[in-house]
Structure 1
């Protein structure tokens, strides 16, 4: 696994580096945002870890630019900001997950393993058999391709794809946010459900319409996937 870390705090970078060494991960560390973005452009990466506050170019801008290029490389943001609006902004710019400083290295490793566990160097993912067809979707787990009513959907991030596939496997089943974090993100609930909410919001924008959002809120419980056309969906 090869991961680019854009982090200007030497102690944080050193700590991450030690855990990478222990886990057998090849890490490259850059302390400047502009340099980090340039390094991202010139390499092939299994994941990116990007600090929010960086000299040269901030982490949110880097994340936004990467997603505007239609890249689906997994991104984890590191942030000292604990305001909900700040963290949601990072997710809306395309981050797959975020870790709030100070953080446990074990918690960071859990997130890294969760968002990269299906990805290997051969084709960017670990192939898992399964061509899933629903009323409107055709989802190929091996090639990570999605067709919606016969049209290709190309702008899904890795975690958005995983979430869509999981929901499509369990149509009309209601899941809590905690269950989705455990089943899709791959780690136990740490007390923050906003990651799920933002990913659902992004999926609704990318594959849904006002009359057919596909992802439905079940008030007081969580979400379900249903391909019926609805009225007055909130």
Structure 2
């Protein structure tokens, strides 16, 4: 009887909410849920790729840029939820947290998403007109990555009235990128890692169900370390 009681106690301890197994399962669930919601923001772009695909035409360029519109607030929401979980060191209800941050980013940073759409349109036409040039291709990739990196940097100011102070928000994000080069370079590589994940044979699209949230968490860790180093 004592052995059964001891075994039951060990099983109960193993499956308790704060047990290592439970924490591991919550960790996996969190990154899956957040990544899946971010992928939902990519649905228009994925539909464009499947139905139209990249073509050097006016319609394809415009439709491609428009299909990317939901991605901006999605990036901000991804960064916000990952940062909140890092600070809280626990589950932060990724469903509600993601879409609350998404709505806040869409509302506060509407001016930036509008400007980013214009820049993306210019890059799309550059690629359509001069895509045969390797230098132009590299330039477009770097510019697009910088646009994503800057968008993530701007999301750090969510909830601070960025819609009323766009110039100040841009200045703050720009200074953060310049003052923390390690964080900035790391963010570049993390963005490329997420983009490259689907290209991995056999498991690429499965990895995409976890990689965006994992990359955002890694970015939050590096950013926090950078803030402490400059404090």
* Structure number with higher strand proportion: 1
Flag whether TM exceeds 0.5 (same fold): no
* Structure number with higher helix proportion: 2
Greater relative CO (CA pairs within 8 A, separation 6+): 2
